[in-house]
Amino acid sequence: MSKYSRALKCSIAKQYLQGEGSSEELSRLHSIPSRQIRYWAQVFDIHGSQAFTPHGFAKSAQTKLQALKHMWTNGWSVGHTSAVLNFSSPGTLSVWLKQYERGGIQGLECSKGRPTMSKHPFIQDKHDDEKTLEQLKEELAYLRAENAVLKKLEELEQEKRRRTKKKRK
């Protein structure tokens, strides 16, 4: 999910393009980097009301490679190519370029999201009767530490609530 909504991007880009403020002024007003505002304006200038709409370029390695080839054949920068292709940020194309430089077409293969989190090393799927004494001790130590962390978090939350009550009185 994007950090900024499509409506906000379009609104700020319109303001910039209509001369309602420089990128630096809009940057201070909205707490958004001026460079980002200039990029949004470029995308909005090219695509108008269709700016920042989802696209199918992230579907396969072939479409990613097409985007890179489009940039290379036209001699465009990463930023300009990203704007022409209606990407929400030029960072996407930069990542694809690095992946291609490292691993060629195989480097562009889709890797969906983050890798799955590994299970806790001390909690295994074995029944307690099947575990060794050492494994049981490690699991017990892990669970005690986890319990201590949860207790500390609860203690901090209660302290925070007490402070806010004192401030209200």
* Integer Cα distance of 161 and 77 in angstroms: 52
Q: Is the pLDDT of residue 1 over 50?
A: no
* Integer Cα distance of 104 and 61 in angstroms: 10
* pLDDT the model gives residue 154: 93
- What does pLDDT average to over the chain? 84
This prediction has a pTM of: 0.60
Q: Which of 88, 90, 75 is nearest to 47 (CA)?
A: 88
Between 56 and 8, the more confident residue is: 8
User: Which sequence spans correspond to the domains of the chain?
Assistant: 1-53, 55-110, 128-168
Q: Is the pLDDT of residue 66 over 70?
A: yes
Q: Is the pLDDT of residue 136 over 60?
A: yes
User: Under a CB-based contact definition with an 8 Å cutoff, are residues 85 and 55 in contact?
Assistant: yes
* pLDDT the model gives residue 152: 93
* Rg (alpha carbons) of the chain, rounded to whole number: 25
- Which residue type sits at 106? Q
> Which pLDDT band holds residue 111 (cuts at 50, 70, 90)?
low
Q: Is the pLDDT of residue 123 over 70?
A: no
Q: Indicate the SS3 state at residue 161.
A: helix
> Which pLDDT band holds residue 52 (cuts at 50, 70, 90)?
confident
> Which pLDDT band holds residue 121 (cuts at 50, 70, 90)?
low
* pLDDT the model gives residue 57: 65
